């Protein structure tokens, strides 16, 4: 379905250029990969000249960014700046940072707090490991929903029909040789996450990287999760168990903080 078939029927002043701009940003934000001009023309249903003009206007504003070859596009820093400039978000980050810093101190690995936003996982807070060789990603970064442990805990919070639909739309990507690409196997993995209360990523998203995640089950704001990421050679069975114990113990505290702050 093209965006022309999804035109808003709301009464009042119509601003077609604004609608088209947001349709383009929405499609880019929901895509698991960068998109080129031809793909955007096809997905939007606009003319090549209109789409080209929208892209360049958004590039000037920093709402879109492009790859080094200038042929593929993704969300730019302006979107993140706007999303993180609200008083509530700044206050939230200020409040949760000491908590995730404390977790980092206990486990010695990088800790992330993120939310489920429009079928992608948005990193909202991070406490990086002190080790010079570590996993790093700034707040505002998004990762695909089917990427690793964080995605699993969010998907485990949905019913089977919803997950089936998402798999039908996006497929199960093979990021590494260990990625789960069989639907039945992935659904069984999500059921295990529901039973045990946490998710694990054993080099399924990035080779050489392991992660553990827990959902916060917050009732306000977007669904949120906490996850710890480390190199496979440091995240052995004993370390993984320690990380699980630490983050499960802190989940309720973080949930209460979030619900008091949002």
Match 């499609």 to its residue by tokens.
Answer: 27
Examine the domain organization and report whether 166 and 126 are in the same domain. Answer: yes
Domain of residue 59, residue span: 3-76
As separate numbers, helices (DSSP H) first and strands (DSSP E) second, the chain gives: 9, 9
Phi, psi for residue 79 in degrees, rounded to 5: -60, -45
Examine the domain organization and report whether 179 and 161 are in the same domain. Answer: yes
Domain boundary among 60, 76, 92: 76
Domain boundary among 57, 76, 95: 76
Q: What is the pLDDT of residues 46-66, one digit of tens each?
A: 999 999 999 999 999 989 988
Tell me what pLDDT residue 21 has.
Answer: 94
Output the pTM of the full model. Answer: 0.69
Among 74-83, 110-119, 166-175, which is the least confidently predicted range?
74-83
Domain boundary among 76, 108, 138: 76
Tell me what pLDDT residue 84 has.
Answer: 57
Examine the domain organization and report whether 44 and 171 are in the same domain. Answer: no
Examine the domain organization and report whether 148 and 175 are in the same domain. Answer: yes
Please, which residues have CB within 8 angstroms of residue 152's CB and are 6 or more apart in sequence? 189, 190, 193, 199, 201, 213
Contacts of 78-86 with C-beta under 8 Å, sequence gap 24+, read 79/25, 79/29, 80/140, 83/122, 83/140, 84/139, 84/140
Examine the domain organization and report whether 103 and 212 are in the same domain. Answer: yes
CATH at residue 257: 3.30.450.40
Question: What is each CA distance from 41 to 18, 64, 125, 247, in whole angstroms?
Answer: 17, 16, 35, 44
Phi, psi for residue 218 in degrees, rounded to 5: -75, 145
Examine the domain organization and report whether 31 and 161 are in the same domain. Answer: no
- Residue 225: beta bridge partners? 114, 215
Q: What is the pLDDT of residues 227-245, one digit of tens each?
A: 999 999 989 989 999 999 9
Examine the domain organization and report whether 22 and 139 are in the same domain. Answer: no
Examine the domain organization and report whether 94 and 218 are in the same domain. Answer: yes
Cα end-to-end span (Å), the chain: 35
Q: What is the pLDDT of residues 6-42, one digit of tens each?
A: 444 555 656 788 999 999 999 998 887 889 999 999 9
Tell me what pLDDT residue 109 has.
Answer: 94
Match 């991070």 to its residue by tokens.
Answer: 126
Q: Length of the chain, please? A: 262
Examine the domain organization and report whether 98 and 20 are in the same domain. Answer: no
What's the total number of domains in the chain?
2
Examine the domain organization and report whether 143 and 162 are in the same domain. Answer: yes
């Amino acid at each position: 379905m093209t965006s022309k078939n999804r035109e808003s029927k709301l009464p009042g002043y119509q601003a077609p250029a604004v609608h088209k701009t947001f349709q383009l940003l929405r499609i880019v934000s929901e895509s698991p990969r960068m998109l080129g001009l031809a793909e955007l023309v096809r997905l939007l249903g606009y003319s090549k000249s209109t789409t080209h003009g929208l892209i360049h206007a958004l590039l000037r504003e920093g709402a879109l960014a492009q790859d080094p070859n200038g042929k593929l596009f993704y969300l730019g820093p302006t979107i993140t700046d706007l999303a993180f400039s609200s008083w509530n978000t700044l206050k939230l980050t200020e409040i949760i940072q000491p908590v995730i810093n404390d977790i980092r101190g206990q486990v010695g690995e990088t800790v992330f707090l993120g939310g489920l936003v429009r079928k992608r996982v948005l990193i909202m807070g991070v406490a990086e490991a002190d080790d010079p060789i570590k996993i790093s990603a700034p707040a505002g970064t998004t990762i695909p929903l089917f990427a690793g442990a964080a995605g699993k805990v969010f998907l485990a919070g949905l019913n089977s029909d919803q997950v089936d639909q998402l798999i039908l739309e996006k497929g199960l990507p093979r990021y590494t040789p260990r990625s789960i690409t069989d639907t039945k196997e992935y659904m069984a993995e999500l059921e295990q996450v529901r039973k045990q209360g946490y998710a694990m990523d054993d080099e399924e998203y990035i080779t050489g990287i392991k992660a553990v995640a827990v959902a916060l089950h917050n009732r306000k704001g977007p669904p949120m999760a906490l996850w710890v990421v480390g190199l496979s050679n440091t995240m052995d069975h004993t370390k993984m168990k320690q990380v699980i114990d630490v983050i499960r113990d802190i989940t309720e505290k973080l949930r209460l903080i979030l619900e008091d702050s949002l």
